[in-house]
Structure 1
């Protein structure tokens, strides 16, 4: 069994352990000012943050997610000062950008909170215990993030929900993840291994997951996956259908479910179209998953399906899933 597969199968239990500490996490977040919130990180950490930022915005809280390297190079301290809480997300707590961001903004450390899987990291030494939120994902062996990515989403949503009037029911999530990881995806792996374009389309809370899927295909299977948001796909990229690509969509029930169904209707005869959904009313080939989950959580088991698929593709291509050839688990060079 590959290291990536081992990490993947441990995700449901890692989530169970994390949600069992939700009261502690919520209490720790009480002292954070959510008037204007910035989430920042790199890679998988940044993509996980996109989900929480979107949830907060939909709840009326001013929140943004931004890639840390771009803030370092193209933002000013005066703009960063406008945020009342700055979440730094880093699985390792050692990335080059994270260390530089802290050093460059030393005067703002009191506004920062660190989300990490490593409580003894270089970054952790800059913060008191009450400003460190541990992912508690356990050891992650593979270069491709699995447990830490999902636990990052869940932890940030626990914190975000504690700051809004909205409740998120996490109780069914681990079992839905187990169901996703038990699916036979060999047919999907075969389809996506063909030498033609692979396109993934998502909206809303699925955008961060979709961008993470793009990263995962590169890291694990060493192949490209094109990602577009649902609306953006219509604004030009729809022309890619000329070569009859494989198109995947994430379409949980929610605010834009019907719009995605319209997209399905418009493109289904021009591509091989598969949707991942928790709706029984899809008119195209469907991987039915995430039953009964809130829209903000539904894309997580869908990601599990893609994880299992990409692991199989990597093996088909002769790669050790999750092992880097040119990259490393922790990026220490900016």
Structure 2
């Protein structure tokens, strides 16, 4: 079996392993995070690539709920590109807590933030507890994803899962309920029609470029798709929010563009589906990914997931499908899935 596909098949097991860890030995780490976060004035999530995109999945929920510290003061939440912060930012305020995300724990820019004093204290989210990033951290939250050698799959899904748990902590929701939601999501991760996924990939292989569109938490998935599809399928790809796509990129609609819209059940589902309909009417090749029963849209290929438990879980729920779609697209383009040619698994230099 291809190594990438093998890792994708392991995703449900890796997600359950993470849930088991944080239900047991790792539960005290979540309690420690709550204690650290309670005393800060701002939380900054920083990373590169997948590790920068993943926190976008929890940002809408945190922003809507409003995060309060132990004394009732508001805690600001923001996301930073570690490389831009490193060269164009300034040191975080002493009251700020950085959450530095790096699947390897060795990403150059993220590691440099800690080594060069941009953050006085930080929490590390990493798959390598013995990494440089973990060594300096006040607290390390492991991903428990196991070995991964190809384009990001298990580590990305488990990064989303750790962030989902942190969101529950910050919103003072029961951790046990969040862990059970992760287990339920793991059970549904590959409950999909793979023949339909392969057919969608065959259609996308006939295009010259791909655009991925999502709103709210699904925008994180759109960003991840654009990154991994350009890595794996060697195609020009870009991610947009639903609104941003209409502000210019809509002009590229036509048979040479493939458009993948992510339309989870939620308050913007109909808006995203309307975009899919308009794009299909302009002769673009359109795939609509939704949970539950999708709307029947002429000219649009529908890919269905089991219903997500909530919109914030959709990026995890769709992570298996998006990787299978990438796998079949690579095959349709005559490429070995998951193989990197011009970059390394760990980006250790700028």
TM over 0.5: yes
- Paired residues, what number? 327
> 1:26: Cα distance to partner?
2.6
Distance 1:220 1:99, change over 3 A: same
Q: With structure 2 as the length reference, what TM-score do the two structures score?
A: 0.87
Q: Partner of 1:185: helix, strand, or coil?
A: helix
1:278 to 265, 277, 291: 291
Partner in structure 1 of residue 313 of structure 2: 297
Moved more, 289-298 or 226-235: 289-298
Q: Partner of 1:170: helix, strand, or coil?
A: helix
Is 1:200 paired with 2:204? no
Q: Distance in 1 between matches of 2:195 and 2:335?
A: 22
Partner in structure 1 of residue 346 of structure 2: 330
Moved more, 282-291 or 145-154: 282-291
Q: Partner of 1:225: helix, strand, or coil?
A: strand
1:310 to 314, 317, 326: 326
Partner in structure 2 of residue 87 of structure 1: 99
Partner in structure 2 of residue 42 of structure 1: 48
> 1:6: Cα distance to partner?
1.2
The answer as to whether partners of 2:192 and 2:304 remain within 8 angstroms in 1 is no
The answer as to whether partners of 1:38 and 1:83 remain within 8 angstroms in 2 is no
Distance 1:196 1:324, change over 3 A: closer
> For 1:166-181, what aligned pairs fall within 5 Å after superposition?
166=173, 168=178, 169-180=181-192
> 1:323: Cα distance to partner?
1.8
> 1:281: Cα distance to partner?
4.7
Q: With structure 1 as the length reference, what TM-score do the two structures score?
A: 0.91
> 1:83: Cα distance to partner?
5.6
Q: Distance in 2 between matches of 1:83 and 1:264?
A: 44
Q: Distance in 1 between matches of 2:172 and 2:219?
A: 23
2:232 to 215, 220, 224: 220
> 1:90: Cα distance to partner?
0.6
2:66 to 51, 55, 60: 60
Partner in structure 1 of residue 149 of structure 2: 141
Q: Distance in 2 between matches of 1:5 and 1:327?
A: 20
> 1:314: Cα distance to partner?
1.8
The answer as to whether partners of 2:5 and 2:327 remain within 8 angstroms in 1 is yes
Partner in structure 1 of residue 71 of structure 2: none
Distance 1:139 1:259, change over 3 A: same
Q: Partner of 1:47: helix, strand, or coil?
A: helix
Partner in structure 2 of residue 189 of structure 1: 201
Moved more, 304-313 or 55-64: 55-64
> 1:242: Cα distance to partner?
4.4
Partner in structure 1 of residue 158 of structure 2: 151
Gaps of 5+ in 1: none
Partner in structure 1 of residue 6 of structure 2: 6
1:254 to 258, 266, 278: 266
Gaps of 5+ in 2: 68-75
Q: Partner of 1:274: helix, strand, or coil?
A: strand
Moved more, 149-158 or 253-262: 253-262
